[in-house]
Structure 1
Amino acid sequence: MTEGTVLLAMDFQNGIAGRFAETALMDRVREAVAHARNTGIPVVWVHVALRPGYPELPETSPFMRIASHGDLDETSESTQILDVLGRREDEPLVTKRRVGAFSGSDLAAVLSGLGATNLVLAGVATRGVVLATWRQAADLDFGVTVLSDACADPDEEVHRVLTEKVFSWQSDVLTVADWIAR
């Protein structure tokens, strides 16, 4: 087991990552999850979900623009983790109320309970949950690895710039194959 390491699988939910369900991205996410499970690395799933009517969001919130484009009601099918990824019931599911995985969630408590010191990030979208979580994790002194090919963004150029130029500033950026080989 890689002591203190946790894999965060973020926003792989029907309403956000559903368009990627039948792509190679999901194969790589499944590979990362399988590797984590096989080596004793906890997998923590993160999704964004809001209460009915979105009382968490004032009308002036920039996040309201994002929320209004999709159904983020916590009871909706759109907020459920994609079936193709095979989330296990014994793997924590963290509900967040904003873009970053730490924002409006109990992720910090879950990570503390798991003894986490290093986070491995996978998620959709690269410019959203991955970027926001990467930034907060670095500020909280976690070691961070971004799995570049287990992340995706609607804009491939944004994904490329973040994974090739930005994330390496304060983290390791690896493919799933390279992470497994380590």
Structure 2
Amino acid sequence: MKTAFIGIDYIIDIMHPEGKIARSAEQAASRQVIANANKILAIAEKNNWLKLLVKVGFSANYTEQPKDSPMFAKAKQLGALSLVGRGTDFHPDLHADKADMVIIKPRVSAFYCTELEAALRANKIERLIIAGVSTSMTVQSTSREAHDRDYEIIVVEDACAAPTQQEHDSSIEFLKNIAHVVNVQQLEKEI
């Protein structure tokens, strides 16, 4: 089955201790999310899967930033998620150079106003391996959209994190309704 790995928002502002809105940084570090994402990239390379990294970001003047969004409203004020700053760079330990494509998204879902669907269709992808930060936002949102677009979905639990373990666990329980949930070790054995 044609497969793609989608790694979402492994960027400094969201999940690195130096990030401007890095509510998930502590959980991501303790869960070794970047090390696990790198393992998935290696598995993807070995299996010839399409490797896509997705990151949220806004132009220098924040034109596409949703001003009334409780989540994004303060981004400009904080100087967060600017595509011209360091905050939208991938985590320095992530092997981002292994990606076949980097996709920029202006909202929570990796599908919204991005080139993701075109890349998946052009490569005749049927199954998506999804992981990212945060579990409760971008992983859930992207997985829901993928489900509604009839992709088979596998969420790699130990390559995801949320601001709290409880929020992560709750999101994973929800995701089990629309996706097969595995850890990196299971991914390598089962796929």
TM norm structure 1: 0.91
Matched, 1:40 2:48: yes
Are residue 128 (structure 1) and residue 128 (structure 2) matched? no
The answer on 1:141 being equivalent to 2:150 is yes
Question: Which letter does structure 1 place at the counterpart of 2:184?
Answer: V
Structure 2: state its 5+ residue gaps.
Answer: 18-24
| Cα distance change, pair 103–67 in 1 and its aligned pair in 2 (3 A) | farther
**Quick check: 1:51–1:73 contact (8 Å CA) kept in 2?**
yes
Q: CA RMSD in A?
A: 1.8
Residues 1-182 of structure 1: matches in 2 within 5 Å? 3-19=1-17, 20=25, 23=30, 24-65=32-73, 67-68=75-76, 69=78, 71-88=80-97, 91-163=100-172, 165-182=173-190
Instruction: Report the residue type matching 1:5 in the other structure.
Output: T
**Amino acid across the alignment from 2:106:** R
Deviations 1:57-78 (A, max 9, x none): 3432344336355511111111
Identical positions, percent: 26
Return the alpha-carbon distance in structure 1 between the equivalents of residues 70 and 101 of structure 2.
Answer: 28
The list of structure 1 runs, each at least 4 consecutive aligned residues, that deviate by more than 6 angstroms after superposition, is none
**Could you state the TM-score of these two structures normalised by the residue count of structure 2?**
0.87
Separation (CA, whole Å) in 2 of partners of 1:58 and 1:148? 29
- Contact residue 51 and residue 98 of structure 2 kept, 8 A: no
How much does 1:152 deviate? 0.3
